[in-house]
Structure formats: structure tokens, C-alpha cells
Amino acid sequence: MRKLGLALVAIFAAMSLLGGCTSKPQKSSGKMLVAASIGPLGNFANEVGGNLVDVQVLVQPGASPHTYQLSADQMEMLSQASVLVLNGLHLEFWADKAINAADNPKLIVVHTADGLPVIEGKDEEHGDVHPGGNPHVWLNPMYAIHQVETIRDAFIKADPSHKSQYTKNAADYVAKLRKLDKDIRAEVATFKSRDFITFHPTWVYFAREYGLVEAAAIEKSPGREPSPSEIGDIVDLCKREHIRAIFAEPQFSPKAAEVVADECGARVLMLNTIGQPPDFDYIKMMRDNVNEMAKALK
């Protein structure tokens, strides 16, 4: 804590952190304090840790992980946490500065996407859209299994005395993810249409796993609104390929998606990529998303 005050001042100036976004973290009551960047990773951490962990999700409801700014209370919590669970692939652009500012030598930082095959996040016109690759790996349940197992290993490193419980909890949850994968494959097999348009390049890993095609993204990089010519190109593609579905997200305005849909007769479907509080149930989120997809693709 001796350096935390000055370090926080520096990072607040550098990152323009937004205060008042969250309540102060609850005391962990003897549980291992874990920070997770987004809801799905927080859910995975809770499943692995069970009653041994107190998991705090950093990116708040309605916010985008691509643009989120940590609050002062969250920085204070990081200074006390044992594990920080990140996705990686530059999803958490704030991570390095936040970790340095937290000045917490015991903090174990786990990048759960490490070791996964990554789809390049490039665009012919604008170059690197996602430096290091498209970060949305958790939306592929088979990749989520890898993330759960990576969290398990980090918890065992931080708290080796409970290795058997973390191992059992992870195995139980992986079995549920395998059942989710099986059910998704069965449902997607009934889809008559395979192509869709998305708000930004979110569903590429899901599409590749289940034989769907993300034909275009309206917003190719976070925060960069499409130009009128880009919208026109997407409308032309939608009409030419008879695309029936446009996937939007509650964290972003659906206006551009609605413009495209109105022009080409497609449906805008709201899919959730980071879950809803307070439980952030990943499996329920993914089942709900597939049910929404089916409304336009069956």
C-alpha cells in the first residue's frame, strides 16, 4: 500500500478513470479475493472456486470491455486480490497499467486465452482492428473449457491447499460445457441459413466452431462508426447473399444495425456477449443466444 496512493494518481491521469461506477468491494470473509475482467470469466471463476473464493467482476453491466475504465474502488480491490482473471488478446487494454498501479506482489495474473488458436483481427482497409487477434474466444464453448482449466491452474497456484476442490469443481463445470456444446451443435444443425451480419466481429469463433459464417461486421473496430459507404456495402452484401440475421449487442446502439436491416429485410437480434448481473450465468447466456439466432436462421 505504500506506493498505491501515488501510483493511483498517475494512472488516473493517464487513463481518465471514471469514479463512482461501482460500489466498494465487499470484504472477502476469509475467502480468496479474485478479480475477473468480464462476466463470463467471473462465472468461470465462481464455478471453479465455489465457496472458497470471492469473485469481483470489473466491467460493469451495460459497459463494453473494449472501452471500460476502472474505478478507484476497483483499483483498491486489485491491490488486495490474489488472482486477476483476464481474457487477454488486448481485450483489457487497461490491464498492464492497472497491475503496475495496484503494486500487489502476490497478485497472480492469468490470461485465459493464452494457448488458444487465434483468428487475426485484421481489416484490409484499416489494418489491425484487434491487435494480437480477435479477443472474443469465450463465445466458443470449446474454448471456454480451456479458459476454465486455466483458471483452475491459477487457483491451485494461489491456494495449493485446496487443489482437490478446485480440480473437482472445474471438472464438473467442464462436463456442463461439453453438454452445452453438444446441444448447440444439435440446434445449429437445424438452421436453414448459415450466414449472418454482426455489429462488430464478435461471433467469429462461435461461427467457425459450429459451421456458421460471419459475413460482415458493421463496426469493424470498437468505437469506430461505419461510414455511409461501408453501410451501403453491407446492405448490398445482405441483399446479394439473402442474409436474414443481424446480431446486435445491448452494450451498443442498434441504430446502424437497424438501418441495414430496414434496407435488406433482415431481422435484428439482440445477443448478449458478457452476461447479466448478478449471476453472469454463461451457459444460460449461450443457450439464450442460440435461441435468438434460431428465430432468424431456422
State pLDDT tens for residues 28-82.
Answer: 468 999 999 999 999 999 999 999 999 999 998 777 787 788 999 999 999 999 9
> Which band of pLDDT confidence, cut at 50, 70 and 90, is reported for residue 222?
low
Give the homologous superfamily in CATH for domain 186-297. Answer: Nitrogenase molybdenum iron protein domain (3.40.50.1980)
Residue 2 has pLDDT above 50, yes or no: no
Residue 258 has pLDDT above 80, yes or no: yes
Do 4-181 and 186-297 share a fold?
A: yes
Give the per-residue pLDDT at 276: 84
Can you give the three-state secondary structure of the chain, one letter per residue? CCCHHHHHHHHHHHHCCCCCCCCCCCCCCCCEEEEECCHHHHHHHHHHHHHHEEEEECCCCCCCCCCCCCCHHHHHHHCCCCEEEECCCCCCCCHHHHHHHHCCCCCEEEECCCCCCCCCEEECCCEEEECCCCCCHHHCHHHHHHHHHHHHHHHHHHCHHHHHHHHHHHHHHHHHHHHHHHHHHHHHCCCCCCEEEECCCCCHHHHHHHCCEEEEECCCCCCCCCCHHHHHHHHHHHHHHCCCEEEECCCCCCHHHHHHHHHHCCEEEECCCCCCCCCCCHHHHHHHHHHHHHHHHC
The domains of the chain are located at 4-181, 186-297
Give the per-residue pLDDT at 297: 96
| Residue of higher predicted confidence among 59 and 252 | 59
Mean pLDDT of 102-120: 96
Give the per-residue pLDDT at 44: 98
Give the per-residue pLDDT at 30: 87
> Which band of pLDDT confidence, cut at 50, 70 and 90, is reported for residue 121?
low
Q: Does domain 4-181 have CATH number 1.10.630.10?
A: no
